[in-house]
Amino acid sequence: MKITPVKTPGLVQRMLPDVRWAFDRDKPVVYLTFDDGPMPEITPWVLDQLDQFNAKATFFCVGSQVMAHPDIYNSILEKEHAVGNHTHNHLRGWTSRDDDYLLDVETASALIKSKLFRPPYGQIRISQINKLKKLDYHIIMWSVLSKDWDLRISPEQCEQNVIDHVTAGDIVVFHDSLKASRNLRHALPGTLKFLSEKGFEFKRIPELTR
């Protein structure tokens, strides 16, 4: 059984220096991110939770989901959260030809006006990174995984995964998906409350320049 670490090891981060793993470590700021939506059963609830804590976040959206739920996507933008490209069909970079992968990213870009990009499953080849960089995409990974998609863990453990590991500047991954919703509905409010009480601010990932 493959075990994915909650905190991304420094060695892994050093192996892929051309992608973003975190931000400034000297400021009490956390960057919450949500993958795979928008999803009508969970994304509006996420937006409400963020509103309660005056928190901003970044939603890495799947193009086909944006096409299916444009009203929810527009709600994300209206609430001044950031959005990013998560491909059109949630492709795995490791098993996709580069041309097919880039075409899928560009298909999503017709709907998602952002140069922030996160590869589904975190799977991306060096060749794909280099080609996306030439198209001015900024690849955003993460430093903390909530593991909310993993139904083998409890909602309480999902929350602890974040609050036990998060530090200033971390990029945290949650999922606004049906699969993750059981864990997310417990972990997100708890995370927002705990980190707010610790003096953290929740910011959206900015559109980056090279």
Kind plus residue range of the DSSP H or E element containing 127: helix 126-134
- How far apart, in whole angstroms, are the C-alpha atoms of residue 85 and residue 101? 12
Cα→Cα distances 36→106, 115, 209, Å: 17, 17, 25
- Active-site choice (88, 175, 176, 186): 175
- Active-site choice (35, 104, 148, 176): 35
175 is catalytic: yes
- How far apart, in whole angstroms, are the C-alpha atoms of residue 77 and residue 56? 11
138 is catalytic: no
Helix axes 70-78, 43-52, angle to 10 degrees: 10
DSSP labels, 44-100: HHHHHHHHHTT---EEEE-HHHHHH-HHHHHHHHHTT-EEEE--SS---GGGS-HHH
Q: What percent of the chain has pLDDT over 90?
A: 89
Give me the chain's average pLDDT, please.
95
- pLDDT of 2 reads 57
List all residues 6 or more positions away from 99 whose beta carbon is below 8 Å from its beta carbon: none
- pLDDT of 79 reads 97
Asked if pLDDT for residue 1 goes beyond 50, the answer is: no
Q: What is the pLDDT of residues 104-117, one digit of tens each?
A: 999 999 999 999 99
